[in-house]
Amino acid sequence: MLKRSFIRLTKPRFKNELLPDTQTEPQKISTPKKVTLLLDNSFDQKEVFLLKEGDKVKTGRKLFLSKDSDTYVISTITGTVTSISPYTGDFGDTYTAISIVAGEEEEIDDEFEKYCKEPNLDVAKKFLACVPGNPPINLFSDPDKRINTIVICGVDSDLLITTRQYAVKSDIEAIKSGIHFLKKITGIDNIIMAAHRNQIQECGDTDIEIKEVNSDYPSTHPHLIMKDILGQSVPEGRSCEDVGVCFFSAEAIAAIGNAFNNGKIPVTKNLTLIKKDGSKMMVSTRIGTPISEIFDAFEVTLNEKDRIIAGGPMTGSAVFSEDYPIQPDTDAIIVQDKDSVKKVLDNPCINCGECIRICPAKVPINMLIRFLQAGQYGTAAEQYDLFSCIECGLCSFVCISRIPIFQYIRLAKYELRSD
């Protein structure tokens, strides 16, 4: 994975994993005993919820807490709601967790089927915002974003992961349907597919332009796809969506195609499971499955101080409980043995320059980190390009002083945005 020159005159190179030709179907986890779905809504104890503990729900049923809210989740099993409670995510973000315990027989909710015969943006927004891959459907009705280009990512966003590549390989007909529906419901014709060279043949007759992305990490990052493929730079502190381009994963577009074709909301997520010994497997499970059920199914044992990461090794987030539920955009789960966890330290920067050489955004990280460590986030943003960082995580990986630079950057951005 890591190609390091013998004498460090050149920067180290990291390669994205390419899906092997021999990739077999994902190993399926049987319907979990319980799922937990995270509603992007702060839990308010005083609020009287429409949904209550004890309510029976079918698979595919849309769940929301109040009639006035546009926020919902889709039940991924048939069963009984057993709890509605507060949940704290990264950086203290708050959600409402809805737990459902599986019943005996699976039943499919038919509400979406009634609407799906006439695909339009409203139906997609009302039913398909939490399908596998987490499509950013709400962007198309955001008055602050004028989306004119859609990029479908057949490439994976982080090292070791092959989840999106597998969607291209296994579900190209659904992707073609998804593209057809997306054009119809958004009116946007400028849709391109970002793919590695070895995927181009698979994507061949999707009727959209296919653009090759090389496998040097972080070439699959949206900002770099924008620059290298679309020839557009994203101004500092702005997002791709701010300049009219939005990104869908191949899995999300396939889910949209399958939903409108079959009249059922997809509820099963594929992900790459990377075990402690480095072995990888593709797993298919219901959204909301606690990772403990995946570990049980594949005999992953955890010891004290082992680490679990949701997402890839560069940009994923540490998970502190085996109850953590699989999210619509969880493309990987990594388990690291405590002895292979790279320790981070709060050492001072020694100005070695490794991070600067590798940073794709040319951020003066050696200066930036001094202000981040001192908690001077405003100065870090104003003078040292904090918001130019595209969050690839490379600087943390190469830092000789083992400073968790990427985590400092994410925290600083979070703090400044919530001011």
Residues that bind ligand SF4 in the complex, under the rule CB under 6 A: 349-355, 358-361, 363, 365-366, 369, 389-395, 398-401, 403, 405-406, 409
Least Å distance, CB 412 to ligand SF4, is 11
Can you read off the two tokens belonging to residue 252? Answer: 């999300």
- CA nearest to 149, candidates 251, 255, 242: 242
- Closest to ligand SF4 by CB, 11 vs 125, is 11
Least Å distance, CB 407 to ligand SF4, is 10
Least Å distance, CB 160 to ligand SF4, is 17
User: Helix crossing, 250-262 with 163-170: angle to 10°?
Assistant: 40
Least Å distance, CB 317 to ligand SF4, is 14
- Closest to ligand SF4 by CB, 213 vs 349, is 349
Least Å distance, CB 223 to ligand SF4, is 8
Least Å distance, CB 2 to ligand SF4, is 15
CB atoms within 10 A of CB 22: 5
Which residues fall within 8 angstroms of residue 396, CB to CB, at 6 or more apart?
344, 403, 404, 405, 406, 407
CB atoms within 10 A of CB 339: 9
Can you read off the two tokens belonging to residue 140? Answer: 């198309």
The partner residues of 86 in beta bridges, in order of sequence, read: 96
- Closest to ligand SF4 by CB, 271 vs 309, is 309
Is residue 79 within 8 A of residue 102, CB to CB? The reply is yes
- Closest to ligand SF4 by CB, 167 vs 403, is 403
- Closest to ligand SF4 by CB, 182 vs 381, is 381
Least Å distance, CB 197 to ligand SF4, is 24
Is residue 271 within 8 A of residue 124, CB to CB? The reply is no
Least Å distance, CB 403 to ligand SF4, is 5
- Closest to ligand SF4 by CB, 31 vs 396, is 396
- Closest to ligand SF4 by CB, 254 vs 409, is 409
- Closest to ligand SF4 by CB, 181 vs 384, is 384
Which string of b and e fits 82-120 if b means at least 16 CB within 10 Å? eebeebeeeeeeebbbbbbebeeeeeebeebeebbeebe
Least Å distance, CB 350 to ligand SF4, is 5
- Closest to ligand SF4 by CB, 101 vs 411, is 411
